[in-house]
Every structure is written in structure tokens, then in C-alpha cells.
Amino acid sequence: MSNGFSRTQIEHVVRDILLARLGDKSAQPNPLVVNISARHVHLTDEHVEVLFGPGAKLEPMRDLYQDGYYAATQTVAVVGPRRRMLPDVRVLGPTRNASQVELAFTDGISLGIDLPVRCSGDHHDTTGCVLVGPKGVVELTAGVIRAERHVHMGPADLAYYGVADGDRLQLRIESEGCTTTLEDLLVRASDDVKLEVHLDTDEGNAVSLDRATKVELIVPHAKSSDCACKH
């Protein structure tokens, strides 16, 4: 039964409650972490078995920053339309409902793919590729993307910054000779996530992220909740 409130109204109420509980609105509830998301592949259970053999499961090798996510021991080769190949591309777990390949802009140049910038899971008007594993081959008809820069936020972070899922922020990175402000950082909200920004390899290298002395999220004056991507 509908309660008569829109999702936006409910989010504003939740933020107000959280801010009241936090008390000191100037105190950031969680540390800001900015990580580079290198090229990787997400697979369905079916494609795991095709690529790695009947009954195969993803084997965790290293935990990622977000709880429950991991880099698997398995890798695949990604083959583009020019028959150029990226070998040993890491598979990330857990498995998903649709397989997806996330590459940087320069990876797309190497493979001969004009990578569209998409939020994860948005495969409309995207190209495919061929995935080669030790036991089989999968031909994807879509799902090869350049993941747009984004920040994962939980309820306390949304309240602190005064934003909602789908809003856009700016990220200022201070590093010697490379200080930059990146715009159009997509807010991706979920209840059980840590505050974390994901940039691709090209973006991280361009701003010399590994030598950054300060990172800061900036809320622009105008916000727009226009992203319809599914998490």
C-alpha cells in the first residue's frame, strides 16, 4: 500500500534524522577513500562454468574494500573486434545476473572498441567481446563499458553531504603538478557500503592518485538525480 510519500521525500526525512543523531554536522562520519578500479570482468554463474569448467566456482584471492566483494584467482583473456587481446584480466566476485567487462579508455583503443561511459549494469547500446578461459569461450553481445567515475555512499554519508542516489559530486585531488577537480562523480547509494570513490586506471594515473596529499568531495550548487542505473 502506498504511504503517499515519494522516494525523494523519504530520503530527505532519513537524512534529517541521521543528521540529528550525528549532532555535529561538521564531523565527517566516515573517512573518504579513493581507489583505482583496474580493468576487470564480472561473470554470471553460467559463464563461470563455461570458462572454467563444469561445477567451477569463483575462488576468492583477495578481499576488496567493500565488504563481500573480492578479486578472484581466475582471470580471462578479453578479445576485441580487431582480434587484439588483453590477457589475464581479473574476475571479480561475487557473480552477477549479467556478465560485464569494465575497461579504461586506453584499453578500448588497444582492443578497437569505442567504449561507452556507463554506470555499472547499464548495457544499452554497448558492444560485446569474446572472453577466453582455460576451459571454454564466451561471446558477449553487449556489456563492455568504461565505468563512469562514482562514489559509494551509505546513509550517514548521504546525510553528511546532503545528497541522494544518482546525484553528482565533484572530487578534488591535490597532488604535486597534477591537482585536479573531477566533475560528474555519480553517487551510488546503498545501506551497507563504505564511503569509497572509484576511478579507472587512466583517471588515477592522470591525477597522480598514488601521490595525492589530499582528496575532497565537493557538492556543486546544482544537483540532478537523473541516473536510472541499477546497482
Q: What is the pTM of this model?
A: 0.83
Q: What distance in Å separates the CA atoms of residue 165 and residue 169, rounded to the nearest whole number? A: 11
Q: Write out pLDDT tens, residues 67-103.
A: 999 999 999 999 998 889 999 999 999 999 999 999 9
pLDDT of residue 10: 65
- Separation CA 18–CA 12 (nearest Å): 10
Residues in Cβ contact with 176 at an 8 Å cutoff, skipping those fewer than 6 apart: 208, 211, 213
Mean pLDDT across the chain, nearest whole number? 90
For 155, the grid coordinates are 546513509
Calpha distance 109→75 (Å, rounded): 21
- Radius of gyration of the CA atoms of the chain, in A: 19
Q: What is the pLDDT of residue 20?
A: 56
CA pair distance 144, 124, nearest whole angstrom? 10
Give the per-residue SS3 of 71-133. EEEEEEEEECCCCCEEEEEEEEECCCCCCEEECCHHHHHHHCCCCCEECCCCCCCCEEEEEEC
Q: DSSP per residue over 9-34, as a string?
A: HHHHHHHHHHHHHH--TTS-SS--EE
576488496: which residue's cell?
64
Cα dihedral across residues 91, 94, 96, 102: positive or negative: negative
Q: What percent of the chain has pLDDT over 70?
A: 84
**Taking residues 214-230, what's their average pLDDT?**
70
Question: What average pLDDT does this structure show over 46-51?
Answer: 98
